């Protein structure tokens, strides 16, 4: 183990850090701890997400973590290294772990500059406690190494390609039953302008809402804070979270980017449509019947492209308020929905797909109509980035709590440091890829929005032997709907 860690740290110190190094760290840790699987959860302002996983935990890749839930607040405010039996976890997650023979979890918080950037989790088959002194030391060292990787940063999801900054931007305070501040993290300092040296040991100066509720507080400088409160199980203390919701500069950047992308991407189909329409108008009599039909066919295709583009741009512009499908989730046959979606695809897309679905599958719980949208985006991406003669495989399956489908290609592949960035709005790959492959960088952003609003999750991963695998998981209809996200 030591030699492997030294080699890994040498690579990190040589600026070859990022997600690949994080995955390698988990592989080393799994073997050293005798664990059945490892995972790393990264925390960003919008919540947590499983960004790396090995062994029996690979199914959880891409899974969102709601940091506003009580259990998550307890974890983030608790000791650095903790251990749980699966019975202490949310029911849906506990069932999924037990199904894979996992009964204990030991994890540690990774901190950078006093702030939490993530948590490293080791899962074991044992029912009795497993956190020996030796395992504590190993997982503590692994987590410190993970934080070191964040300090060097190169291609970690929450940071993109900029300088490393601790991504857990939500302020955190622990209050005694007398409203006195026991803990005041750096994010709380930034949000309020009040240093920990002044806040700790004194009554909190912010208004605190009733347990389990939130309120908006406006500071004298005009910024707005969202303040939430929850109890800390097993104690008389409370957890208060503080989030700066102003973020004017980000909204301005998004607006400018949206205008630039919209003007650029609309220009091509509009120019083609106008050109063919002018040709038909001015040269109708001189064109033969096949030429007219071909022009009308191109007009129809480009009009369809334009309609889809406008729909995606408008959806992305209003993503925060968008409701998937416009209806409530219901049980539906995922295999039938996937088959129907493929049958409705254009022939040029359909001919590259090789669909291998089971005859029947447990029913999913969600929005059936959204399957066609999600699958179309994933399949279009797969075909676009693949050689013309290479097939794209569409498969499906189920486990104890979820049903899923996958789209696997043998294309140019996705770099490990891009598997999360690919879901950002307007993000595209390397400059060379942007020149070779058209697009606005909205497809995967919308896919994630659609799937997560149905309490599912979506992930990308490099495919062994080359290419990419996209996996979409939705809750099973016979399970407690709405409990898949934890």
CATH number at residue 295: 1.10.287.130
In the predicted model, is pLDDT for residue 481 greater than 60?
no
In the predicted model, is pLDDT for residue 102 greater than 90?
yes
Domain that holds residue 365: 330-475
Is 357 a member of any domain?
yes
Q: Is 270 left (phi over 0), alpha (psi -120 to 50) or beta?
A: alpha
In CATH, what number is assigned to the domain containing residue 198?
3.30.450.20
Is 287 a member of any domain?
yes
Is 108 a member of any domain?
yes
Query: What pLDDT is attached to residue 429?
Result: 57
Q: What is the mean pLDDT of residues 229-244?
A: 75
Q: What is the mean pLDDT of residues 147-162?
A: 58
Q: Of the given ranges (376-380, 415-419, 420-424), which has the lowest mean pLDDT?
A: 415-419
* Percent with pLDDT over 70 in the chain: 75
131 and 9 share a domain? yes
Is 323 a member of any domain?
no
How far is the C-alpha of 254 from the C-alpha of 14, rounded, in Å? 34
278 and 147 share a domain? no
In CATH, what number is assigned to the domain containing residue 139?
3.30.450.40
Query: What pLDDT is attached to residue 203?
Result: 93
408 and 383 share a domain? yes
In the predicted model, is pLDDT for residue 155 greater than 70?
no
Going by pLDDT thresholds of 50, 70 and 90, the confidence category of residue 331 is very high
456 and 342 share a domain? yes
Q: What is the mean pLDDT of residues 388-412?
A: 89
74 and 154 share a domain? yes
Whole-prediction pTM: 0.64
264 and 302 share a domain? yes
Query: What pLDDT is attached to residue 26?
Result: 92
Domain total in the chain:
4
How far is the C-alpha of 379 from the C-alpha of 93, rounded, in Å? 29
In this structure, what DSSP letter does residue 62 have? T
Going by pLDDT thresholds of 50, 70 and 90, the confidence category of residue 265 is low
Going by pLDDT thresholds of 50, 70 and 90, the confidence category of residue 324 is very low
Nearest alpha carbon to residue 140 among 294, 291, 261, 33: 33
Query: What pLDDT is attached to residue 116?
Result: 79
Is 166 a member of any domain?
no
Is 254 a member of any domain?
yes
109 and 136 share a domain? yes
Q: What is the mean pLDDT of residues 18-42?
A: 90
Q: What is the mean pLDDT of residues 168-183?
A: 78
Is 483 a member of any domain?
no
* Percent with pLDDT over 90 in the chain: 20
How far is the C-alpha of 441 from the C-alpha of 424, rounded, in Å? 8
In CATH, what number is assigned to the domain containing residue 392?
3.30.565.10
Q: What is the mean pLDDT of residues 55-71?
A: 84
In the predicted model, is pLDDT for residue 480 greater than 60?
no
Q: Which residues contact 14 (CB under 8 A, 6 or more apart)?
A: none
Query: What pLDDT is attached to residue 358?
Result: 93
153 and 198 share a domain? no
Higher-confidence residue of 349 and 312: namely 349
Q: Are 417 and 408 in contact (CB under 8 A)?
A: no
In the predicted model, is pLDDT for residue 441 greater than 80?
no
Going by pLDDT thresholds of 50, 70 and 90, the confidence category of residue 94 is confident
Query: What pLDDT is attached to residue 157?
Result: 60
Q: What is the mean pLDDT of residues 234-248?
A: 73
14 and 43 share a domain? yes
Q: What is the mean pLDDT of the chain?
A: 78
Q: Are 206 and 242 in contact (CB under 8 A)?
A: yes
Final residue of a domain: which of 317, 349, 365? Answer: 317
113 and 200 share a domain? no
Going by pLDDT thresholds of 50, 70 and 90, the confidence category of residue 351 is confident
Final residue of a domain: which of 244, 267, 282? Answer: 244
Q: What is the mean pLDDT of residues 141-159?
A: 70
In the predicted model, is pLDDT for residue 199 greater than 80?
yes
Q: Count H helices, E strands: the chain?
A: 14, 18
Edge-first strand order for the sheet with 181-184 is: 181-184, 171-175, 238-244, 224-231, 214-218
Final residue of a domain: which of 223, 244, 265? Answer: 244
Burial 106-131 (b: 16+ CB within 10 A, else e): bbbbbbbeebbbbbbbbbbeeeeebb
36 and 100 share a domain? yes
Is 200 a member of any domain?
yes
In the predicted model, is pLDDT for residue 314 greater than 90?
no
194 and 210 share a domain? yes
């Amino acid at each position: 183990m030591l030699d492997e860690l030294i080699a890994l740290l040498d690579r990190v110190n040589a600026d070859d850090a990022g997600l690949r190094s994080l995955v390698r760290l988990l592989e080393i840790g799994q073997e050293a701890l005798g664990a059945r699987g490892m995972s790393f959860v990264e925390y960003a302002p919008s919540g947590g997400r499983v960004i790396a996983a090995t062994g029996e935990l690979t199914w959880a890749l891409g899974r969102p973590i709601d940091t506003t839930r009580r259990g998550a607040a307890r974890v983030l405010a608790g000791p650095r290294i903790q251990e749980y039996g699966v019975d202490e976890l949310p029911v849906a997650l506990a069932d999924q772990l037990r199904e894979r023979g996992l009964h204990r979890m030991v994890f540690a918080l990774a901190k950078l500059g006093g702030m939490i950037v993530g948590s490293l989790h080791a899962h074991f088959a044992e029912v009795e406690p497993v956190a020996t002194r030796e395992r504590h030391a190993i997982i503590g060292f692994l987590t410190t190494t993970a934080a070191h990787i964040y300090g060097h940063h190169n291609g970690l999801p929450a940071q993109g390609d900029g300088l490393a900054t601790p991504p857990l931007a939500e302020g955190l305070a622990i209050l005694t039953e007398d409203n006195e501040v026991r803990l005041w993290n750096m994010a709380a300092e930034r949000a309020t302008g009040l240093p920990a040296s002044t806040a700790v040991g004194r009554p909190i100066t912010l208004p605190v809402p009733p347990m389990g509720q939130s309120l908006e507080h406006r500071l004298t400088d005009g910024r707005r804070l969202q303040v939430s409160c929850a109890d800390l199980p097993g104690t008389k203390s409370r957890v208060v979270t503080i989030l700066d919701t102003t973020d004017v500069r980000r909204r301005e950047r998004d607006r400018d980017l949206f205008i630039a992308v919209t003007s650029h991407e609309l220009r091509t189909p509009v120019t083609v449509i106008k050109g063919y329409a002018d040709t038909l108008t001015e040269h109708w009599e001189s064109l033969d019947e096949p030429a007219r039909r071909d022009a009308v066919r191109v007009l129809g295709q480009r009009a369809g492209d334009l309609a889809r583009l406008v729909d995606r741009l408008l959806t992305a512009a209003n993503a925060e308020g968008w409701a998937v499908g416009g209806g409530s989730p219901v049980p539906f046959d995922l295999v039938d929905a996937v088959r129907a979606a493929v049958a409705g695809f254009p022939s040029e897309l359909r001919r590259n797909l090789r669909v291998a679905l089971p005859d029947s599958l447990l029913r999913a719980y969600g929005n059936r109509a959204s399957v066609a949208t999600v699958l179309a985006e994933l399949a279009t991406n797969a075909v676009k980035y693949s050689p013309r003669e290479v097939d794209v495989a569409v498969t499906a399956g189920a486990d104890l709590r979820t049903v899923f489908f996958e789209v696997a290609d043998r294309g140019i592949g996705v770099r490990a440091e891009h598997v999360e960035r690919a879901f950002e709005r307007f993000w595209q790959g390397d400059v060379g890829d942007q020149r070779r492959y058209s697009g606005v960088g909205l497809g995967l952003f919308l896919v994630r929005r659609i799937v997560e609003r149905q309490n599912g999750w979506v992930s990308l991963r490099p495919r062994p032997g080359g290419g990419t695998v996209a996996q979409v998981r939705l809750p099973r209809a016979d399970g407690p709907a709405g409990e898949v996200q934890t």
